[in-house]
Amino acid sequence: MTASPIDASTDPDDLLTGLDPTDERLAAMHARFAETALGVGAVDVAYRTLDSPVGLLLLCATDVGVLRVAFEIEGHDTVLDRLASTVSPRIVEAPSRLDTVARELDEYFRGERRAFDLPLDRRLSTGFQRTVLEHLPDIGYGSTASYTAVALASGSPRAVRAVGTACATNPLPLVVPCHRVVRSDGTAGNYRGGMAAKQILIDLEARA
């Protein structure tokens, strides 16, 4: 049977009528759309999700590098909406664009990777927060540092509270290891993915 032609007046929603969300045809259509959009430079932010020991992660990247890693607790749709308003509305789910990011994270969670080799898009971090976050990779795998120590290393020894805020709002958790910053008494402290997720990561690194 010959398919009906699609013209400019065709409502995109009509193309999906009758398709179950789990239908392989729908997934194939989306994949073709994503690849075409990427090929013509019509995508500014690509994203995918990844199952992990700390829940389903949202991974987002631009041509520059990894832009955002988000936990379920943050609300993935909320994160994408914010990126659409602050970075670009041209956001497309394109898993293949983030294959390397997903692979390195999988290796990390299996205890096979201790540092990430990924380009980063740091535009969501500015000022003192960016200074703090750029220091965090200096805290070795399996080690921790106090908020006080990080404030000192960042050149502002009195800015302990600001260090806590910088870590708690880190747009690139895991990749930029804010989970290695703890309270002076050794307890985990606040974390964007929740305190339970932070403890899981600390314990994972301690076992390796």
Reported as a single tens digit per residue, the pLDDT across 61-88 is 999 999 999 999 999 999 999 999 999 9
Rounded CA-CA distance 55/200 in Å is 11
Q: pTM of the predicted model, to two decimals?
A: 0.82
Task: Answer yes or no: 60 catalytic.
Answer: no
Q: Please say whether the structural domain 21-109 has been given the CATH code 3.30.160.
A: yes
Q: Which of 67, 70, 94, 178 is catalytic?
A: 178
Contact call for residues 31 and 41 (beta carbons, < 8 A): no
Reported as a single tens digit per residue, the pLDDT across 99-124 is 999 999 999 999 999 999 999 999 99
Under the banding of pLDDT at 50, 70 and 90, the label for residue 208 is: confident
CATH 3.30.160 domain position(s) in the chain: 21-109
Q: What is the SS3 assignment for 188? A: coil
CATH topology assigned to domain 127-207: Arc Repressor Mutant, subunit A (1.10.10)
Dmax of the chain from CA atoms? 73
Contact call for residues 95 and 73 (beta carbons, < 8 A): no
Under the banding of pLDDT at 50, 70 and 90, the label for residue 56 is: very high
Query: Phi/psi of residue 70, each to 5°?
Result: -130, 145
